């Protein structure tokens, strides 16, 4: 507070502020701390080293000084040696640091002034003190705290002066003048040592600070690299998990939920099954790697429309894809895109001289239960219910009908006014169920000529089917044959019929009308519905 009230301190502050562009604020802050709040950060590391050096050299001065003709005092040398040994063997540890520094300052306060005064008194006519004062005063200024320097210079010298007067009183004028000169030289040299010590202290702190900053920067870089590596590994694992599990399950994991605690729920969903026809025959000439490449390409084509229309891939079983949709409209839109993608793929197959791929898609809608099914070792999040069984049967029956997309009447209701080009194709009953289901073909993906033909003959198809299920097989057969004459030619194979469903019903009508096999008895017992006995 005294310095802040003086005129000198404000003047220095103005000068520093004026030339602040040339001065480092951090350097000035550390210099201020070194002068008025020195904590021995740099000094204390030198103390024990100086004790070792003093223990070796200080007794040797006794012999060198005697050889030069100076007088010496052995008890003083012994006392100095013992004090140096105290500095060396002082206990280590944080709890001993502050007492050790007090011990150090007291040694400097008593030893240095008293030693120099006694040597001067013993050798009053020699210039011994002039050379030795430079070294010990520089040492004093370097090794003591700034706030302790006046104590050493005034009180320490005063104590030595009193001792000198008690030994030689009154003191000669030459000795008094010598002590005064000695005092001035000690002040100048001690202040020089103090300035050097402050500079060393500041740069020592800055070095430690920079080293710490560099260490922290390296640690931060290493930590950042570890975080990036961990993040990359986490993203890689997430991508692997996302590919191997269904999206809804992955979202639960991402939110921190436990999928094993999922409670089963009932939902109204549209279920789709899509399977490749004659897959074994198609791939029997392919190697294992070629089969994998082929299937992965095919499944990529089939699953992309499912996801694009808000569906979810429930599972992939062999060459079959099972998808779930919130409603029938989304399921039909996905099925049409899947068929269009397959048409593009088959064009590539034709260009390469390879056989085309055929698949069938069956879609049903109903109330299903979604839950975890399996064992303790292996669980699967999937759905069970009548709609699942019906969709699987429809997919397998597409080969029997020679059609591509077959759906139930519930799916057609979800289409609304859009219709998406559909027609009634069958009336069935699943074994074990009393429900009778009307099945429909969806053909919105087919060429315009085929769509036009099927739309134009939709009424005739419904009348022919009505006659068929009313057991009027001859009339139904005539209508099916009349429709057969209107079928447009196939785009790629002239011998292949574009509407193979007509062949299916014509063959059935002929079987019912075969008298040799007891047709009337069979017709009478038939309930007017096709029964699915197996999947």
Q: Given this model, what pLDDT does residue 15 score?
A: 46
Q: In the structure, what pLDDT confidence band is assigned to residue 120 with cuts at 50, 70 and 90?
A: low
Output phi, psi for 485, to 5 deg. -70, -15
Confidence check: pLDDT of 393 > 80: yes
What is the secondary structure of 3-68 as a DSSP string? HHHSSHHHHHHHHHHHTGGGS-HHHHHHHHHHHHS---TTTHHHHHHHHHHHHHHHHHHHHHHHHT
Q: What is the pLDDT of residues 305-351, one digit of tens each?
A: 999 999 999 888 888 999 999 999 999 999 999 999 998 888 887 77
Residue 139 CA, distance from chain mean position: 58
* Mean pLDDT, all residues of the chain: 76
In the prediction, which pLDDT does 59 show? 66
Per-residue model confidence as pLDDT tens digits over 65-100: 666 666 666 777 777 777 767 766 677 666 766 777
Tell me the pLDDT tens digit for each residue of 14-45. Answer: 444 444 444 455 555 555 454 444 455 555 55
Q: What is the pLDDT of residues 472-485, one digit of tens each?
A: 988 999 999 988 88
- DSSP label at residue 436: E
Q: Does domain 263-446 have CATH number 3.30.70.1230?
A: yes
The pLDDT > 70 percentage for the chain reads 63
Position with higher pLDDT, 40 vs 393? 393
**What Cα–Cα distance (Å) separates residue 436 from each residue in 277, 416, 428, 527, 531?**
27, 21, 6, 11, 9
So what's the pLDDT on residue 339?
A: 93
| Displacement of CA 198 from its chain's centroid (Å) | 48
Of 161 and 305, which is predicted with more confidence? 305
The residue among 425, 414, 317 whose CA lies nearest residue 365 is: 414
Task: Report whether pLDDT(262) > 70.
Answer: yes
Delimit the CATH 3.30.70.1230 region(s) of the chain: 263-446
């Amino acid at each position: 507070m005294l310095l802040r009230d003086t005129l000198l301190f404000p003047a220095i502050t103005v000068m520093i502020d004026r030339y602040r562009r040339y001065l480092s604020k951090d350097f000035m802050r550390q210099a201020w701390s070194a002068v008025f709040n020195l904590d021995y950060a740099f000094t204390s590391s030198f103390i024990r080293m100086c004790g070792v050096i003093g223990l070796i050299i200080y007794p040797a001065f006794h012999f060198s000084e005697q050889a030069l003709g100076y007088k010496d005092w052995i008890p003083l040398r012994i006392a100095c040696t013992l004090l140096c040994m105290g500095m060396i063997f002082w206990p280590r540890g944080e709890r001993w640091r502050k007492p050790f520094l007090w011990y150090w300052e007291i040694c400097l306060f008593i030893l240095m002034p008293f030693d120099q005064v006694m040597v001067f008194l013993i050798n009053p006519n020699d210039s011994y003190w002039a050379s030795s004062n430079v070294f010990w005063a520089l040492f004093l200024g370097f090794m003591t705290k700034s706030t302790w320097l006046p104590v050493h210079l005034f009180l320490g010298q005063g104590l030595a002066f009193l001792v000198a007067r008690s030994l030689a009183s009154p003191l000669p004028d030459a000795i008094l003048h010598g002590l005064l000169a000695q005092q001035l030289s000690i002040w100048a040299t001690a202040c020089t040592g103090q300035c050097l010590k402050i500079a060393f202290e500041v740069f020592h702190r800055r070095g430690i600070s920079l080293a710490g900053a560099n260490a922290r920067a390296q640690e931060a870089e290493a930590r950042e690299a570890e975080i990036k590596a961990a993040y990359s590994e986490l993203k890689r694992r997430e991508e692997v998990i996302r590919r191997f599990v269904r999206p809804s399950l992955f979202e639960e994991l991402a939110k921190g939920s436990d999928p094993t605690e999922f409670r089963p729920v009932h939902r109204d969903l549209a279920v789709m099954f899509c399977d490749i026809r004659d897959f074994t025959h198609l791939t029997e000439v392919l190697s294992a790697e070629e089969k994998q490449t082929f299937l992965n390409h095919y499944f990529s084509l089939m699953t992309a429309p499912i996801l694009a229309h808000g569906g979810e891939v429930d599972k992939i079983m062999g060459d079959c894809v099972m998808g779930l949709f919130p409603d029938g409209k989304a399921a039909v839109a996905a099925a049409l895109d899947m068929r269009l993608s397959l048409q593009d793929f088959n064009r590539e197959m034709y260009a390469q001289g390879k056989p085309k791929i055929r698949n069938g898609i069956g879609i049903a809608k109903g109330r299903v239960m979604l839950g975890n099914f399996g064992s303790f070792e292996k669980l699967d999040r999937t759905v069970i219910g009548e709609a699942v069984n019906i969709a699987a049967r429809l997919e397998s029956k597409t080969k029997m009908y020679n059609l591509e997309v077959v759906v139930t009447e519930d799916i057609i209701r979800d289409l609304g006014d859009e219709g998406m080009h559909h027609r009634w194709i069958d009336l069935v009953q699943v074994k074990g169920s009393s429900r009778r289901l009307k099945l429909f073909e969806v053909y919105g993906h087919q060429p315009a000529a085929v769509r036009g033909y099927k739309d134009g003959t939709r009424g005739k198809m419904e009348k022919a089917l009505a006659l068929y299920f009313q057991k009027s097989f001859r009339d139904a057969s005539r209508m099916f044959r009349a429709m057969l004459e209107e079928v447009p030619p196939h785009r790629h194979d002239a011998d292949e019929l574009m509407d193979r469903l007509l062949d299916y019903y014509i063959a059935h009508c002929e079987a019912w009308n075969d008298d040799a096999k007891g047709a009337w008895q069979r017709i009478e017992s038939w309930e007017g519905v096709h029964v699915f006995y197996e999947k």
